[in-house]
Amino acid sequence: MKLLIYIFLCSIDILSAGSVDERRFVNYIDISFLQGMNFEKGASYSGGNMNSSIGFLYDFNENKSLSLDYLLSYSGPSISYENRFFDERIINHSAMIEYSTRLSKYVRLRPHIYYGKEYRKDSAIGNFTDNLYNNDSKGFGLSMDYYPSRDNTFTTYMVYRKIEFPNYTDLLYEFLNPGVATEIGGGLYDNNLYRFGAKLMSGEFFYSIDYTMQRYTNQKIIESDASYGNDKQKDDEVELRIGMQHRISDSSIYPAFTYTIHSSNQNFLRFKSFTDVTPVFVADAYDYKELGFDLPVYFKFIGLDMNLSAGFKNRDYSKRPPRNSENNYIYGKKENDRLFSFSLTASKKINDLASFVFYYSIVNSSSNNKFEYYIPFNYTGQMFGIGYKISY
């Protein structure tokens, strides 16, 4: 990170000195801070976010360029439970270098290399170093852009990431054999991620398909007798997306529909307590289909830049039954989760570089799964916040 900041500061100095001809070297910085209060089920707690992006673009000529992007973000306590707890804190930082070359008038290639780290913490106490879900990610990718006409762009890409979880251990083995956690090494959740996709932009409309494969290097499949089988975990996901980008004067609207099919050969064992010797087995517990809709709108109002966004997701699990408040499965039914979100951001420019931001968000989650001991499924949460943004 120190090296990247040094490169960025040097690039600012070079650019301001006018030593680079024809503005072939361009740098940027985009930093935003948001601090607010979350309200959920009669409780309130503070939370905040910080996002920063630093980078530069260098044009060798009209056909070749090189870019470097460094991203750093912090996400504090939130009202959204997706893949996290309410009080969880997450730090992400990553760097990507991309080389772009135009092969012809219609074709451009963009290879890149990537490195990232993610740290998590479950509460205000402790530190970020020992969380189970801390991970390192590194890899590469290649994109190809095809421009058949002025209003049409077709892009295909492939991405590879090696994701390592140095602290993730054998939780099932620890549960069945208390006191042996120190004897188990990390890395159980390590996996190789492959993603392939294509996107067509035609006029105001866009269509995309993405296919993601995760192949785990150590994680085995849990069997009904609470033992591991011979097969390793494999997750696959297909996402179809269709939407449009429409401008009306100073306003823009970007409605989009998303349909996702997620499948995994991993199973699930439900232990009701630490003394439970007869756990319930659910095969293919992570398979689901999800339909989503997003409606971002951008417009100006009384001198403010307004960003309104509404979204809805409906997820149906293929084989996982819901659980009642007593943590018993309701057989004959399948779990269904629904999430509605709405946010409104108003920003006011202070000068050419800085803006002051006001933020409001509401999330409503509902599910026929009534068991909410660890992660809530049925709640309504709100957040009010103010922030500050710098762009250069």
Cβ atoms of 371 and 387 closer than 8 Å: no
Cβ atoms of 291 and 314 closer than 8 Å: yes
- Quick one: pLDDT at residue 177? 52
Q: H or E stretch including 135?
A: strand 135-149
pLDDT for residue 296 is more than 70: yes
CA distance 100 to 121: 37
- Give every CB contact of residue 6 below 8 A, 6+ residues apart in sequence: none
CA distance 177 to 227: 13
CA distance 352 to 52: 18
Alpha carbon 172 to its chain's center: 27
Residue 360 lies in a domain: yes
Cβ atoms of 83 and 56 closer than 8 Å: no
Do strands 228-244 and 246-248 pair parallel, antiparallel, or not at all (unpaired)? unpaired
Taking only the tens place, the pLDDT of each residue in 50-99 is: 999 999 999 998 899 999 999 999 988 877 756 556 778 899 999 999 99
Residue 370 lies in a domain: yes
- Identify which of 360, 334, 335, 243 has the alpha carbon closest to the alpha carbon of residue 292: 243
Q: Of residues 22 and 79, which shows the higher confidence score? A: 79
- Identify which of 140, 137, 97 has the alpha carbon closest to the alpha carbon of residue 116: 137
- Quick one: pLDDT at residue 41? 78
Tell me the DSSP string of 226-260: SSEEEEEEEEEEEEEEEEE-EEETTEEE--EEEEE
CA distance 110 to 238: 23
Do strands 354-367 and 336-349 pair parallel, antiparallel, or not at all (unpaired)? antiparallel
- Give every CB contact of residue 201 below 8 A, 6+ residues apart in sequence: 152, 153, 154, 155
SS3 134: coil
Residue 177 has which token pair? 């054999």
> Which pTM does this prediction carry?
0.87
pLDDT for residue 184 is more than 80: no
Residue 1 lies in a domain: no
Q: H or E stretch including 9?
A: helix 2-16
Taking only the tens place, the pLDDT of each residue in 157-181 is: 999 999 999 988 766 655 555 444 4
Percentage of residues in the chain with pLDDT exceeding 90? 61
- Identify which of 340, 383, 335 has the alpha carbon closest to the alpha carbon of residue 364: 340
CA distance 58 to 64: 9
- Quick one: pLDDT at residue 288? 97
pLDDT for residue 20 is more than 50: no
- Give the pLDDT band (50/70/90) at residue 1: very low
- Quick one: pLDDT at residue 169? 77
Residue 155 lies in a domain: yes
The Cα angle at residue 125 between residues 123 and 126, in degrees rounded to 5:
105
- Give every CB contact of residue 178 below 8 A, 6+ residues apart in sequence: none
Average pLDDT, the chain: 87
Residue 294 lies in a domain: yes
Task: Read off the pLDDT of each residue in 251-267 and give the average, rounded to a whole number.
Answer: 96
pLDDT for residue 7 is more than 50: no
SS3 267: coil
The residue segments making up the domain with residue 172 are: 8-390
Taking only the tens place, the pLDDT of each residue in 128-161 is: 888 888 999 999 999 999 999 988 999 999 999 9
Mean pLDDT lowest among 33-47, 86-100, 231-245, 296-310: 33-47
- Give the pLDDT band (50/70/90) at residue 292: very high
pLDDT for residue 12 is more than 90: no
Q: H or E stretch including 12?
A: helix 2-16
Q: What share of the chain is helix, strand, coil (3-state, %, to 5)?
A: 5, 60, 30
- What is the number of structural domains in the chain? 1
DSSP H helices, 59-194, are 171-176
CA distance 111 to 114: 10
Residue 389 has which token pair? 């943004």
CA distance 121 to 91: 9
Cβ atoms of 280 and 294 closer than 8 Å: no
- Give the pLDDT band (50/70/90) at residue 14: very low
Identify the residue whose tokens are 């866009």.
206
Residue 201 lies in a domain: yes
- Quick one: pLDDT at residue 70? 95
Residue 2 lies in a domain: no
CA distance 383 to 224: 42
Cβ atoms of 340 and 312 closer than 8 Å: yes
Percentage of residues in the chain with pLDDT exceeding 70? 87
- Identify which of 165, 171, 81, 178 has the alpha carbon closest to the alpha carbon of residue 130: 165
Q: What are phi and psi of 231, to 5 degrees?
A: -80, 145
What is the CATH classification number for the domain harbouring 301? 2.40.160
Residue 3 lies in a domain: no
